[in-house]
Amino acid sequence: MTQTDEPRVSAKGLKVLHAFIEAGSRELSGADIAERTSILSGTLYPILIRFKSAGWLKDRWEDDEPVELGRPKRRYYKLTAAGHAAYRRNIPNAAPSGSVAWAR
């Protein structure tokens, strides 16, 4: 996918990328991202799918079995180098100063 084929980054998409930036190198589950961004799952998961398709995220399923966990398996996401670059490219569009309003 070339830069011109990249997904559009909405304000909510930028919030998702920002959640990964704040998490550093940690993986985040969908529930973690939803909690950090207050984005509902019906909006969040399509964003995650688009970003994964663009190569901005990689994902993996939790290793343990649901019976051992006492809950369904979680999928964990991690920002790639391409995702970091996408965040840097899109942050100047967030506000005139390049700051992010929700990060203040």
- 63-87, pLDDT tens digit by residue? 888 888 888 999 999 999 999 999 9
| Res. 104 pLDDT band, cuts 50 70 90 | very low
pTM: 0.82
pLDDT of the residue at 44: 98
- 14-44, pLDDT tens digit by residue? 999 999 999 999 999 999 999 999 999 999 9
- Write out the CATH class of domain 8-95: mainly alpha
Domain boundaries, given as residue ranges, for the chain: 8-95
State the average pLDDT over residues 40-64: 96
- How close are the terminal C-alpha atoms of the chain, in Å? 33
74's CB contacts (< 8 A; 6+ apart) are 29, 30, 31, 61, 62
Indicate the range of 1-10, 67-76, 91-100 predicted with least confidence: 91-100
pLDDT of the residue at 97: 47
> Residue 93 is which amino acid?
N
